[in-house]
Amino acid sequence: MWRATILTIFPDMFPGPLATSLAGKARARGLWALDCIDLRDHAPDRHRMVDDTPAGGGPGMVMKPDVVARAVDAVGADARPRLLMSPRGVALTQARVRALAQGQGAVIVCGRFEGVDQRVIDGRRLEEVSIGDFVVSGGEIAALALIDACVRLLPGVMGREESAHEESFSDGLLEYPQYTRPQLWEDRPIPPVLTCGDHARIAAWRQVEAERLTRDRRPDLWAARQARLTGAKKGPPKA
């Protein structure tokens, strides 16, 4: 079973929002599992200290390498990747999420304060993963986002209703715009093509819209897709 093991000083934050909705139901059905290790349980001193002042000076505190290492070692070696949530990490993508979902789970270290002593990142080969170019106050929220993204892709978690096949990033494109009833809302109609009943025309419209949105909003994704298509066809991309 897919299993997330979280190393944190705030185990009360889990499962948190993952107890509800799709992820919560899936966990109740035994489709994935979650366990938390309290980093403070691995602090050797009686004050359960997990942090100390930064070498070289400056504000804030740094998580101690010995405490994090003891907690990581307590998990033991298994096939799961060991991740450290970190704004310095490689940015999480849907492709990485898909790969993680196909594996056996993840061991996830949640940073706090100014971060984690570099020596335990190196010594325990923690792979730094970022959820984007912004800073949240702890790795817990980042870990929740990562786990949610993985869990929804596990077999049996999403029904046909919530199918992941055509959503954003599945084909390197952002998703086309969505509409629902009423047909006319505040003088704005649903695009007529969506109510014409011709599935081929609808699919073509959605493809054009997805490409338009991606080109306008995410030139980085668009360029990567064009390069991929060009490479695959060994010719120039069609205009």
| Other beta carbons within 10 Å of 10 | 17
Query: Should residue 81 be labelled a site residue for ligand SAH when binding is judged by CB under 6 A?
Result: no
Min dist CB 159 to ligand SAH, Å, is 30
Name which position in 41, 114, 171, 175 contacts ligand SAH (CB under 6 A): 114
Query: Should residue 110 be labelled a site residue for ligand SAH when binding is judged by CB under 6 A?
Result: yes
Name which position in 20, 21, 35, 88 contacts ligand SAH (CB under 6 A): 88
Question: Between residues 137 and 163, which has the closer beta carbon with respect to ligand SAH?
Answer: 137
Q: Report which residue's Cβ sits closest to ligand SAH.
A: 111
Q: Of the listed pieces 25-33, 105-113, 157-165, 197-205, which binds ligand SAH according to CB under 6 A?
A: 105-113
Query: Should residue 50 be labelled a site residue for ligand SAH when binding is judged by CB under 6 A?
Result: no
Name which position in 65, 81, 115, 172 contacts ligand SAH (CB under 6 A): 115
Q: What are 68-71's contacts with CB under 8 Å, separation 24+? A: 68/7, 68/39, 68/42, 68/109, 68/116, 68/117, 68/120, 68/124, 69/120, 69/123, 69/124, 70/42, 70/44, 71/7, 71/37, 71/39, 71/41, 71/42, 71/109
Name which position in 64, 82, 112, 225 contacts ligand SAH (CB under 6 A): 112
Closest residue by Cα to residue 88 from 147, 128, 119, 52: 128
Could you tell me which residues come within 8 angstroms of residue 137 by beta carbon, excluding any fewer than 6 positions away?
A: 112
